[in-house]
Amino acid sequence: MALSETVQLVSGSLALTPWRILAVLATFLALYWRMMPHPLPGIPYNKKSARKLLGNAPDMMKEVSVSRELNVWLVKQVNQLQTPLCQVFVEPFSKPWVLLADSAEAQDIMTRRPEFDRSNFITDGLGPLDGFHARMKTGSVWKTSRSWLQDLMSPSFLNNVVSPVMYDNSLHLLNFWQEKARLANDRPFDVNEDLNHSALDGMLSFVFDRHFEHTALGPQVEAVSELDPSTVKVGTLGEVEFPEGKHHPFISALYETVDAIDKVTKSMSPKFTMWWLRQTSRYRNVTAVKRCVVQEQVQSALARFRATGETKTAIEYMLMRETKAAEKQGRNPDYENTTMMEEIAGQFIAGLHTTSTTLAWSFIYMTRYPEIQNKLREALFSTYADAYAEKRPPSLAELNKTRVPYLEGTLEEALRLHATSVARQAIRDTEVFGHHIPKGTNVIMIANGPGFHAPSLSVDEKLRSKTTKANNWDERDLRVFNPERWLKYKKTSSGEDEVEFNANAAPQIAFGLGPRSCWGRRLAYLEMRMVVTLVIWNFDLLPVLAALAAPKASYGIVHRADQCFLRLKRRK
Sole window of 18-26, 247-255, 353-361, 456-464 interacting with ligand HEM (rule: CB under 6 A) = 353-361
Q: By CB under 6 A, is residue 354 in contact with ligand HEM?
A: yes
Closest distance to ligand HEM from the beta carbon of 236 (Å) = 33
What CA–CA distance (Å, rounded) separates 490 from 480?
24
Distance CA 437, CA 118 (A): 16
Shortest distance, position 512 Cβ to ligand HEM, whole Å: 2
CB of 523 to ligand HEM, least distance (A): 5
Q: How far is the CB of 354 from ligand HEM (least distance, A)?
A: 3
Subset of residues 121 to 150 that bind ligand HEM, contact rule: CB under 6 A = 133-134
Per-residue x/- marks for ligand HEM, 73-92, CB under 6 A?
A: --------------------
> How far, CA to CA in Å, does 118 sit from each of 29, 146, 158, 456, 462?
34, 15, 27, 25, 27
Among 339, 511, 540, 551, binds ligand HEM (CB under 6 A): 511
Residue among 512, 535, 538, 566 that touches ligand HEM (CB under 6 A):
512
By C-beta, is 516 or 567 nearer to ligand HEM? 516
Output the residue with the shortest Cβ distance to ligand HEM: 512
Residues in the chain, overall count:
572
**Binding ligand HEM by CB under 6 A: which of 245, 427, 517, 549?**
517
Pairing of strands 442-445, 97-100: parallel
Residues 6 or more apart whose Cβ sits within 8 Å of residue 65: none
- The answer to whether residue 510 forms part of the interface with ligand HEM (CB under 6 A) is yes
Q: Least separation, in Å, of the C-beta of 422 and ligand HEM?
A: 5
Nearer to ligand HEM (CB atom), residue 81 or residue 513: 513
221 vs 419, which CB is nearer to ligand HEM? 419
Residue 422 CA to residue 424 CA, distance in Å, equals 7
Is 107 near ligand HEM (CB under 6 A)?
Answer: no
409, 485 contact by CB (below 8 A): yes
Contact 445, 100 (CB under 8 A): yes
Per CB under 6 A, the segment of 18-26, 391-399, 468-476, 507-515 that binds ligand HEM is 507-515
Q: E-assigned strands of 138-289?
A: 189-190, 233-234, 240-241
- Closer CB to ligand HEM, 179 or 193, in the complex: 193
Of residues 181 and 376, the one with the C-beta less far from ligand HEM: 376
Task: Draw the binding track, 422-461, toward ligand HEM (x: CB under 6 A; -: no contact).
Answer: x---------------------------------------
Q: Is 564 annotated as a binding residue?
A: no
Closest CA to 443 of 96, 135, 35: 96
| 78 vs 423 by CB, closer to ligand HEM | 423
**Measured from the CB atom, is 148 or 242 closer to ligand HEM?**
148
Nearer to ligand HEM, 110 or 232 (CB): 110
Among 208, 250, 406, 519, binds ligand HEM (CB under 6 A): 519
354: CB partners within 8 A, 6+ apart: 518, 520, 524, 557, 558
**Closer Cβ to ligand HEM, 381 or 511, answer by number:** 511
Q: How far is CA 376 from CA 371, 381, 410, 483, in A?
A: 9, 9, 8, 9
Number of chain positions touching ligand HEM (CB under 6 A): 21
Q: Is 520 in the site for ligand HEM (CB under 6 A)?
A: yes
Which residue's CB is nearer to ligand HEM, number 122 or number 181?
A: 122
User: Are the CB atoms for 161 and 209 separated by under 8 Å?
Assistant: yes
Three-class secondary structure assignment of 308-361 = HCCCCCHHHHHHHHHHHHHHHHCCCCCCCCHHHHHHHHHHHHHCCHHHHHHHHH
Q: What does the alpha-carbon distance between residue 443 and residue 118 come to, in Å, rounded to a whole number?
A: 10
Integer Cα distance of 381 and 184 in angstroms:
27
Q: Does 100 bind ligand HEM (CB under 6 A)?
A: no
Q: How far apart are CA 42 and CA 59, in angstroms?
A: 23
CB distance 273 to 266 below 8 Å = no
From 35-43, 60-68, 247-255, 520-528, give the range in contact with ligand HEM by CB under 6 A.
Answer: 520-528
Residue 526 CB, nearest approach to ligand HEM (Å): 9
Residue of the chain from 70, 126, 350, 380 that contacts ligand HEM (CB under 6 A): 350
Q: Distance of CA 98 to CAs 264, 296, 436, Å?
A: 21, 45, 11
Among positions 274, 345, 524, 544, the unique one binding ligand HEM when judged by CB under 6 A: 524
Measured between its terminal Cα atoms, the distance across the chain in Å is 94
Q: Does 311 bind ligand HEM (CB under 6 A)?
A: no
- CB-facing half-sphere around the CA of 77: CA atoms within 13 A: 29
Binding segment toward ligand HEM, per CB under 6 A, in 273-281, 288-296, 509-517, 531-539: 509-517
- Under the binding rule (CB under 6 A), the answer on residue 518 touching ligand HEM is yes
- Give backbone dihedrals phi and psi of 541, rounded to 5 degrees, phi first: -95, 100
CA 517 – CA 428 distance, rounded (Å): 21
161 contacts ligand HEM (rule: CB under 6 A): no
Among residues 403, 440, 447, the alpha carbon closest in space to that of 425 is found at 440
Does 180 bind ligand HEM (CB under 6 A)? Our answer is no
| Residues annotated in a binding site for heme | 518
Contacts to ligand HEM by CB under 6 A: 110, 133-134, 347, 350-351, 354-355, 358, 422, 510-513, 516-520, 523-524
| Residues annotated in a binding site | 518
